Every structure is written in C-alpha cells, then in structure tokens.
Amino acid sequence: MKEKNFKVLLINCNTMMDVLLPVGLSLISACLKEKGFGVKLFDTTFYKIATETGDEIRAKNLQVRKTDPEELGITYKDTDLFEDLKEIVEEYSPDVIGLSCIECTYELGIEMLKSIRHYNIPIIVGGVFATFATEEIIAEDCVDMVCVGEGEYALVELCTKILKKQDITSVQNIWFKKDGKIIKNGIRRPVNLDELPFQDWSIFDPKRFYKPMGGKISMTGTFEMNRGCPYSCRFCSDYGLNKLYANNGGYYREKSIKRLIDEMKEKKKEYNLQFAYLVAESFLTTKRERVIEFIERYKEVDIPFWIEARPESINEENVRLLESSGCKGISIGIESGNLNLRRNLLGRNMTDETIIKAFKILDKSSLRVSANNIIGFPTETREQIFETIDLNRQINVPSVMVSLYNPYKGTALREYCEEEGLMQEKSHAGDYRSETVLNMPQLSRKELLGLQRTFPLYVKLPKSEWPKIRKCEGNGTEAETLFKELSGMYVEKFL
C-alpha cells in the first residue's frame, strides 16, 4: 500500500489578508503526511475578495496602527480565484478535497466547491461552523461529507479507508450521504494534544508568516497551548463545543509545556520566527505550576509573544512572571461595561472592580495591554454601550479594541437571537470587525457602525470633545471632516 499516491487538497477559505497561521489546518496536514498521504493547499488569503482587509478596517476605526504589507512584497494575486482553483484540481488530481471555512466565508467556500463539483472528487467540509451547521452544509449538492468536531484523526481514518476501498460510512465525527439518506456518526473522544505531530507549515505561502502586531510586521508563528476554554461564555463557540463534548471526555485540554516548547524551538529555527502568538483562550486560567514551568522553559525559545487572558486571572505575581519571560503584549476581554448584561446575557460573572483591579496591575507593567470590547449585543442600548465606554475610561487602557457582536453558530446567544427574531432565518453571521447581521429595534446597524468607529475617541478624548465626536458617528462631509481631524489627533497621541 503506497499512501503517498493518495492525495488530499485542502482549501482554506480565509478572510482577505488575515495571515495568522491556522493551527487546525496545520495539524490536519501534519497528521495526513505522518501517515504518508500527499497534501496540497489552496488558500484564498491573498485574493481580492473584499473591499478592505480586517487590519485596514481596524486602522480606520483607530484600533491598530496602520501598516503597509506591500513594503515586504505582500500583495494581492492578480489571477482569478475560481480559475486558479480549477487549475490546481486538474494539475494535482486529488483523491479527496477538504474545505475549511468560518461562518463569514462559508458562502464563498460553497461557490468554490460548486465550481469544481464536475470533477467528481469526494468533498468534505470541516471547521467550527461546519460542526454547528452540519444539517445546512450536508444539504448542499456540492458536499458529500461534513466533519463534526475535531478533524485530525477523522480525516486520516477516512483517507485510509478510501485508499483501502473499505466502507467509509462508519468513521466517527463524519456525516455521510448514502443512497439518498444522511448517516450521522457520533463523536470520537477528543485527541490528546501531546500525541499530535508538530504543525505542518510547509503548505502555506511564505508570506503567511508576516503578521502585523503593534504596528510592526514580524515573522509570526501560531502555537496551540490549550484547546477550548474552561469557561462557556454565551457569545463564544466554546459554549457549543463544551456542550458537544460534555459526555465524551470534555472539550478543554492542555498541551504539556515540554511538548509546546519543543515545537516552538523547532519552528523558530526552521522559519526564523520573530514573534509567537499563543492560542489559549485564557492563558493564565490554569495551575500556577504550569504557568511557572512555561516561564522557566520559555527562555529556550526567547522571542516576544502575545497572549489573551481574563481579568480574574490577573495578579501581580502572574504579571511579573510574564514580564520576566519576554511576553510583549496581553489582550484582556471586557466585552461589556454593564454588569447585568455581562453576567446574565453573556455569562461572564465578573464585577467591575475585578476588571478595574486587573488593568491597574497591568498599568504598572511593561506589557502592551489592549482591552477587547464588543458592542451590539441583543437588547443592548446606547446607554449600555456608554457604560462600556465609561469602564474603558476608568481603566485608562493604552489600546482599545471594539468589535461588533455577531451571533455565531454554536453559541447560546445565536439561539436567543433566532428565537427573538433578531436575524433573518438561515442568515450567516458576518465579520465582527466590520458588520453585524442583527436587526434590533433599539439600535440600527448604521448607529452601531458609527459607535464602533468613534468608540476609541469617546474613551480617550476629554468629554468636552464628545459633542464633536457625536457628529462623527454620522455620515456626510461634516462628519468625515471632523472624524479626520479627531482621528489624526488620536493617532498622534495614542497609537
């Protein structure tokens, strides 16, 4: 049996110019190659599929410094995405095609699959959206299979059985079409993160490593420290994943520090990494011994890194440990400044005092700190958004990030939005950086977009400027002139 003659084409239907390396696809490729299968990637990242990139939107909305990828030769492809996809299918002649997409790129992903359906190659769709929209996706004529939950071992088993001409319909984690019926297989136990091979980054264009961080573009690697989250915030897909795996070992797992450091050292050397992004929903929510072990061992890696954490996990000792290890920056989720909304709607049971205390501790540190906020939650009012603005003013955070709430599949709030009729039936959630699909009586999309772009101005500028900022929420010549004036002041002083 020569597995190497069996080829898999992975399609990464990514948002435009979002270069952070995806751990999921990197691991799936590594697992397939470990068993001798051939893997090739078709990636949409550098195709002009939107009017603005996420980084351009964030820079325009005063959340990050503007960067110019063209300085490093990072430009758009000048060829047609669909023609290029057909060409790679014809040249590579894969035995299986796997599409990975997120909710806001799903429709493009399906159009891509339709364009290559006539090649009659088995097609499987996977990812977080596929896990929670399985019924919708399996109903598509261009889809043969859908992966529910983790795909590493499921895809290896599927390819092995296809190669050996065995019955594939019993593979766990996968739904199949057969004889006009849908076979819905159950979920296998979660993978052991320490048993997985190191990620395979060779499938990606080398330009995927150039990631803007803090206004500077660096060779950046993405590393999985944990999978999932011990919390189940109602707006996050971890809510659904925790529910899906509740009776099957639980979804949240931690990789051993030794395994993590070994991978980071190898990748740093192989790819000349300058920066690391650690995938852990709440980096410090773990045993103290684990944090200390990471800090001690990280000296072997010795490149700056960025993490995310919850306010409850911030204390002076943890911050000292992070500073001593080369941690460059930390993102802390505030989400909402209204206690009742935060606790009852979002499932984030923390007080304002806890949040304020965390940022006071961080304010004394050398870390670059950013606060993550979300506006446009169902039932949220303009007054409640200004409570979030006021909380940000109190903590005086250097970097203010603000996203628009989108009801993603697999979240508890998605169910709520559907029940309350706040979104069109079967509509897909959008990109949190620039759009929302909710239709709310108390706050229109136009109002939310205006508040998103002025949010940092309200947080950082004196209240005497608020009447001017209010005008910037609107459209028209006066609004744009004022926004240009105030944003210029903001960029010079705060970014």
The number of C-alpha atoms within 13 Å of 41 and in the hemisphere containing its C-beta is 25
Where in the chain are the domains?
A: 3-184, 225-456, 461-495
Q: Which CATH number fits domain 3-184: 3.30.750.24, 3.40.50.280, 3.10.105.10, 3.30.460.10?
A: 3.40.50.280
pLDDT digits 0-9 by tens, 95-118: 999 999 999 999 999 999 999 999
The label of the residue with tokens 């229109």 reads 444
pLDDT digits 0-9 by tens, 398-444: 899 999 999 999 999 999 999 999 998 889 999 999 999 999 999 99
Q: Which CATH superfamily is domain 225-456 in?
A: Aldolase class I (3.20.20.70)
pTM metric for this prediction: 0.95
Mean model confidence pLDDT for the chain = 95
pLDDT at 4: 54
pLDDT digits 0-9 by tens, 174-193: 999 999 999 999 999 999 99
pLDDT digits 0-9 by tens, 447-488: 999 999 999 999 999 999 999 999 999 999 999 999 999 999
pLDDT-derived band at 13, boundaries 50, 70, 90: very high
* 3 state DSSP class of 102: coil
pLDDT at 1: 41
pLDDT at 69 over 60: yes
The one-character DSSP state at 343 is I
List Cα–Cα distances, 85 to 20, 81, 354, 459, in angstroms.
Answer: 22, 6, 50, 45
Contacts of 443 by beta carbon, 8 Å cutoff, 6+ apart: 376, 380, 381, 382
- Helix 316-325 vs helix 288-297: angle between axes, to the nearest 10 degrees? 20
